Amino acid sequence: MALSREQVAMRVAQELQDGYYVNLGIGIPTLVANYVPEGIEVMLQSENGLLGMGAYPSKDQVDADMINAGKETVTAATGAAIFNSADSFAMIRGGHVDLTVLGAFEVDQNGNIASWMIPKKLIKGMGGAMDLVAGAKNIIVTMTHASKHGDSKLLESCTLPLTGVNCVKKIVTDLAVLEVKDGAFHLIERAPGVSVDEIISKTAGKLLVEGDVPEMVF
Amino acid sequence: MAGFDKVVSSYEAAMEGLKDGDTIIAGGFGLCGIPEGLISEIKRKQTKNLTVVSNNCGVDDFGLGILLHDKQIKKIIASYVGENALFEKQLLDGEIDVVLTPQGTLAEKMRAGGAGIPAFYTATGYGTPVAEGKEVKEFDGRPYILEESITGEFAIVKAWKADRYGNLVFRHTAMNFNPMAATAGKITVAEVEEIVEPGELEPSQIHTPGIYVNRVIKGDFEKRIERVTTRD
């Protein structure tokens, strides 16, 4: 069965390592913070200028001057640092953020990502996504494997305007975990109960399947 | 005003000299850390054909969004404008130009502008629509695009505290773009919650030194929150 949003987030959380600085995008990536494995510490970076994002505040703690990049009220975790936007993107562009997790409309077999613009629909802007994909050491994309109409989102070549090129290393979809390297998607794991054939049929780009592909373990 | 005393007592004085066609660089992230009273003064003045450089464009009835009501903004350079229905309408009607700019590139454009650096190379945006028409150069085998810096006739920022000399301290994430914006204006105006005497701010804790700031005004802030999220 296809994974729920929470399960996708749980699977991404298994990629976290002790001491990681992580930037989580809006949507499923945000949920990853709820599933940080026991025994490890990660620090969340919010690109409006906060390293060490904490939980949402209690009603009494709500402070208009304390928000995250999604413009939600948040708190600062113990040991947090707050800084300006140029410093925030210096740490992003300078390759100091260990992992970025973000959503996408499309990813292709060369690691290109399209996530910010659908022509002829309203264009709202890229925010910090282009900086994040250009700068993070490691990028994981979360998305559904195919659209509601069944169209694959894992393509030979992205059709939508790009957010970044040759940057996506790993994809966690509702059906599979895939690595992107050497011009192909490599199937690493499949969702419990999802067949390799289904993943093949829903992957438009070049897909390499080697040996028995294990099911994800939660 | 004498010596280094930057304090002005009216919004009229704070925005004196702003004229049609000027470029205004504004601090703020969403509605967080925005110079509310200075924006209202620009609306009152009805200055037109403005180019506004800001991460966002407020919401329909608050922040920079109020400058859309009377079509005061001709062009906006921003990273994300998705919170504003009136903006969408003016964009679709061709009444406003928008230059969508990656958030880090926007911050760096302001920072570089204030630092006298006319342009810089960045990997951000390479291979995307942002790179169209821009010079590409490889360093160590990786392609980068040339981005030009930004300065403006005015910069408007919001700070927590200022002393009379214009030294500024920001509070929490209301800092955001404000320090960079402050450096990039020919005339920089800071609207602040509290003005103290010189010497009351710890010198090593000052975020923006007064050399960048021309005018300081004490404001009253609504501090509207875009998305109140709580764990309760």
Residue reference for tokens 């077999």: A109
Is 80 exceeded by the pLDDT of residue B171? Answer: yes
Q: How far apart are the C-alpha atoms of B216 and B201, rounded to whole Å?
A: 15
Interface touch B32/A162, C-beta < 8 Å = no
Amino acid letter, residue B157: V
Asked if A127 lies within 8 A of B103 by C-beta distance, the reply is yes
pLDDT given at position A208 = 98
Contact check, Cβ <8 Å, A134/B126: yes
Cβ atoms of A43 and A50 within 8 Å: the answer is no
- CB atoms B174 and A89 under 8 Å: no
What domains lie within chain B, and their CATH numbers? 11-114+149-218 (3.40.1080.10)
Residue-wise pLDDT tens digits, B60-83: 999 999 999 999 999 999 999 988
Q: Is the Cβ of B204 closer than 8 Å to some Cβ of chain A?
A: no
- Euclidean distance between CA atoms B102 and A126, whole angstroms: 6
Residue B190 has pLDDT above 80, yes or no: yes
Q: Is A210 a catalytic residue?
A: no
- Dump pLDDT digits (tens) for A92-130: 999 999 999 999 999 999 999 999 988 877 678 999 999
ipTM: 0.96
**Contact at 8 Å (CB) between A180 and A171?**
yes
Residues of chain A with pLDDT under 50: none
- How high is the pLDDT of residue B92? 82
Q: Which of A73-82, B74-83, B167-176, B182-191 has the lowest mean pLDDT?
A: B74-83
Cβ contacts (< 8 Å) between B105 and chain A: which residues? 130-131
Give the closest residue to A22 by CA, choosing from A48, A42, A6, A2.
A42
Measured in whole angstroms, the distance separating CA A21 from the mean position of its chain's CA atoms is 14
Q: Domains of chain A, with CATH numbers? A: 5-209 (3.40.1080.10)
Q: Measured in Å, how far apart are chain B's first and last C-alpha atoms?
A: 49
pLDDT for the residue numbered B95: 92
Q: Would you state the pLDDT for residue A122?
A: 67
| Chain A residues touching B178 at Cβ < 8 A | 84
Q: What is the reported pLDDT for A136?
A: 85
Nearest to A165 among B108, B127, B171 (CB): B127
Which residue of chain B comes nearest to A57, CA vs CA?
B230
The stretches of B56-206 forming alpha helices (DSSP H) are: 85-92, 103-114, 178-183
* Banded model confidence at residue B30, pLDDT cuts 50, 70, 90: very high
Q: Which residues 22-51 on chain B approach chain A with CB closer than 8 angstroms? A: 29-33
| Model confidence pLDDT, tens digit, residues B106-118 | 999 999 999 999 9
> What average pLDDT does chain B have?
96
State the Cα–Cα distance between residues A213 and B18, nearest whole angstrom: 65
Does the structure show a pLDDT above 60 at B1? Answer: no
In chain B, which ranges are continuous DSSP H helix? 11-14, 36-45, 85-92, 103-114, 178-183
Is residue B218 very low, low, confident or very high in pLDDT (cuts 50, 70, 90)? very high
pLDDT, average across residues B147-167: 98
Average pLDDT over residues B92-115: 95
Is residue B108 helix, strand or coil?
helix
What confidence category does residue B191 fall into, taking pLDDT thresholds of 50, 70 and 90?
A: very high
Q: Please name the residues in contact with B77: beta carbons below 8 A apart, sequence gap of 6 or more.
A: B51, B52, B53, B54, B98, B99, B101, B106, B150
